[in-house]
Amino acid sequence: MTASKAAPLVEVRNLHKEYLLPRDSLLAPPRRVHAVRGASFDVRRGRNLGVVGESGCGKSTLARAVMGLEVPTRGTVRVLGTDVSTVDDPRHRHLRRNFQMVFQDPFGSLDPRQKVARIVAEPLALERVGRSEGRERVIEVLEAVGLKASDTDKYPHEFSGGQRQRIAIARALVTRPALIVADEPVSALDVSVQAQVLNLLEDLREEFGVTYMLISHDLAVVQYVCEEVMVMNAGLVVEHGRTDDIFAAPRHDYTRMLLDAVLPLPETG
């Protein structure tokens, strides 16, 4: 195996993200919220990483930092060896095709004024793809997620919630990325539809060779999809390791609390 193939898809080192809050008074110093505090981890090709924790723990901020949608207060984020803070530089813009994001709300993330064909093709604007090839790519990914070529002429409101999330996944796939960051991709869906979308993610992983960084508060979802799990609490990474190991024998009290809340812990030792 060459060094390039062995290198992580994502390298995060000592990542901090702080937000300034409005002052309580004119003379009071601004307050700071430490959303992420010193996170360091890798995502390796073919090994899905789940990031779990309660609401407000910093996991979505972390996901947005990996995508280059949030500028770190300090620390570095590299995707395929490139600092994500430089991907909007014209010299590096082509690298954006290698990592895409799926958001939580399958309706809010789709422009209701645009037809599916344009929505799914939008990420191709950064590539030199002709109209004919672009349409072929759009149809390919729509069919891969279980939709039809005829759906390209419809609008988002003509689909169910699960179908809209399939459209969002198709849009993420159209550039054939190495990494998809999925932020609570099934939490807004009915339970029966959640299972369909999770099975779809697994099928697409095998078909397209994509690796997922999955953000979720649902430990069962992470256990189903991910080989590794990272637990966050109050902006800190408190535990990180193989999913089976952490579910079987969590080392941190906070991880035990999360697991106790959803399922009985297996007996150990």
The better pLDDT of the pair 126, 236 is held by: 236
Q: What are phi and psi of 65, to 5 degrees?
A: -70, -40
**Ranges of H-type helices in 226-252:** 243-248
**Parallel, antiparallel, or unpaired for β 211-216 and 228-233?**
unpaired
pLDDT band at 59 (very low <50, low <70, confident <90, very high): very high
The better pLDDT of the pair 24, 181 is held by: 181
- Identify which of 126, 69, 64, 118 has the alpha carbon closest to the alpha carbon of residue 94: 126
CB 130 within 8 A of CB 166: no
The better pLDDT of the pair 8, 85 is held by: 8
Report CA torsion sign: 109, 104, 47, 42: positive
Task: Record the tokens describing residue 57, joined without a space.
Answer: 């723990």
The pTM of this model reads 0.87
pLDDT digits (tens, 9 = 90+) for 212-258: 999 998 898 999 999 999 999 999 999 999 999 999 999 999 999 99
Task: Record the tokens describing residue 137, joined without a space.
Answer: 């790519």
The crossing angle, in degrees rounded to 10, of helices 191-208 and 161-173 is 20
CB 187 within 8 A of CB 102: no
pLDDT digits (tens, 9 = 90+) for 39-51: 999 999 999 999 9
Cα(231)–Cα(235) distance, rounded to whole angstroms?
10
Q: Is the pLDDT of residue 190 over 80?
A: yes
Sheet of 10-20, strand order = 32-43, 10-20, 74-79, 82-83
Q: Is the pLDDT of residue 263 over 60?
A: no
- Identify which of 65, 42, 63, 44 has the alpha carbon closest to the alpha carbon of residue 52: 63
Cα(54)–Cα(217) distance, rounded to whole angstroms?
6
pLDDT band at 75 (very low <50, low <70, confident <90, very high): very high
